[in-house]
Structure formats: structure tokens, C-alpha cells
Amino acid sequence: MSVLVNKHSRIIVQGFTGKEGTFHAEQMIAYGTNVVGGVTPGKGGQIHLELPVFNSVEETVLQAGADVSIIFVPPAFAADAIIEAAAAGIKVIVAITEGIPIQDMVRAKAYIADKGCRLIGPNCPGVITPEEAKVGIMPGFVFKRGSIGLVSKSGTLTYEAADQIAKAGLGISTAIGIGGDPIIGTTTKEAVELFMNDPETEGIIMIGEIGGGLEAEAARWIHANGNKKPVVGFIAGQTAPKGRKMGHAGAIVGSADDTAAAKMRIMEENGLTVVSSPAQIGATMKRIMGI
């Protein structure tokens, strides 16, 4: 079983005819993802990549039954694209766009709060259910189908963890790249909760980084709910100096609890198995699952 996306998802691309939208839509289609069309205002009625182009997300829902959207829209317009998707009834919105202004994300997140949808990102690699659906920019060949759920702030470490899991003879149920911006749609805890409630996900990998409190929140939730599945955790930025942004906009140490060491300690205190290097993820997961 998967979470968020699967072979039955009906996926559209917002920003379909642009350079990034075109390139990644081609990759998604080649992977076997059920892309049913895309949106570029003013180009409705055209055919692109042998699929229909619509003027609005609402049209894709009404005419193509779309329920998942991936957004490749420039930063200045991306928040409006998120809002449009939510207003049209899209259930899973994956915002790839990097550099969306914080005030725009505050507005978008407030709007979608009561719309019954889930936002992944922004500034993320997306979501993949191996061998079923790739809704993002990740290299699909790295991901092998299996029973390990993966949630990560980092795109690159998502791919590394998936590779480590495959080398250990395991596979991924679904991988969720939540993004590393200060304001994101789905938190680490929320992603972990999806995996905990998925009967076919047997173990979880949780990759975080310096800055913010998402990993501590998730670790405490896991412990409070009985540590029902084994969780391997890793925190990037272990050598990062205080006060310096490292990579993502949200990866900056603002307090003592924001450091990698503090997060790793909290994770261990709450029953997670913490590794100091991403190279240890696969072997560690295999060991704690008793395989």
C-alpha cells in the first residue's frame, strides 16, 4: 500500500508547457505516472506531450477527473497556483517551486487549511510510490518498491536513503520530500503519521536537518503513540556553525534545540534509532527490522 499517490492518481502539471514543467512531465510520464493533462492559462485547448492543456485547474477536475497536482510555476505566482488547486478540489498538491516569498506561503497555507487537501512542499523533490507514480523531480530508477516509508527535508538525502535501502535488500513504500523552507504544507510529524497508519509500511526513515523543531515534534509524537514501527533517524548539518543558513531557507540554528546534536538526542530519548551518517541508513534499518 502507498500514501498520497499511487497508480490510480490522476495527476496534472501546473506550468505544463514551461521548460521545467515540460521536462519533468516527460520524466513522470516515462516512469508510468498517470498524468492526465496540464494547466497553462491562455493555452487551453492545445495538446502538449500528447496530453490536453487546460486554462484552469477547475477545468482539469471537471473534464479529466484530476485529483493530484504538481506545480512548476515561477515563485511570484506559485502561491496563487496552490490556492487555485485547493479551490478546485485537488486533494494532493505538490509544490516543487523554490523561492516562494514567505508572506505568500503564509497566505496560501491559511487558505488551504479548511479545504480538505494536503500540500507537499514547497521547495521539495515531491512524492514517489515506486513502480506506481512519480510526482516530482527525483530520479525514479533509484527507488525500489518495498515496505519502508521515507520522509525527508532534503532531496539529495532522499535519493541517498533510497539507494541505501535498495542495497540492503529492502524497498520504499512511498517517499515524501517535505521541503526545507520555513513554511511548508506537510510537517515531518504529519508525514510520519501517514506511514504509521499505513498497514503495509513496516519501518520508517526520518531525515531532518538543523533549524526548527519539526524532528523533535515528530519524535515525541512517535514515542507518545507507542513506537509502533521502527524508525531510523538522521540529521544533516552536524558541523554547521550557529547562525549560518545551510542550504535550505529553514536550515539555520536559532536556538540550542535547533542543533543537529540536540535533535539527535531528542530522537534517541524518544526511542528512534539515530545514525550519524546517511551511509548507515540501509544497514541499520535492516538490522532493527530483524531481516
Q: Which CATH superfamily is domain 11-120 in?
A: NAD(P)-binding Rossmann-like Domain (3.40.50.720)
Closest to 156 in 3D by CA, of 130, 181, 124: 124
Matching CATH topology for 11-120 and 138-288? yes
Question: CATH fold of 138-288, please?
Answer: Rossmann fold (3.40.50)
- Asked if 8 is an active-site residue, the reply is no
- The residue annotated as part of the active site, out of 8, 48, 223, 248, is 248
CB atoms within 10 A of CB 202: 18
Task: Provide the residue ranges of all domains of the chain, joining segments of one domain with +.
Answer: 11-120, 138-288
- Per-residue model confidence as pLDDT tens digits over 4-57: 999 999 999 999 999 999 999 999 999 999 999 999 999 999 999 999 999 999
8 Å CB contact between 289 and 273: no
Enter the DSSP assignment of 174: E
Given the DSSP bridges, would you call strands 92-95 and 118-120 parallel, antiparallel or unpaired?
parallel
Cα atoms found within 13 Å of the Cα of residue 238, Cβ hemisphere only:
12
- Per-residue model confidence as pLDDT tens digits over 143-181: 999 999 999 999 999 999 999 999 999 999 999 999 989
**End-to-end Cα, the chain, rounded Å:** 20
Enter the DSSP assignment of 189: H
Residue 173 corresponds to which cell in the numbers above?
513504500
How much is the pLDDT for 237? 74
- Per-residue model confidence as pLDDT tens digits over 54-103: 999 999 999 999 999 999 999 999 999 999 999 999 999 999 999 999 99
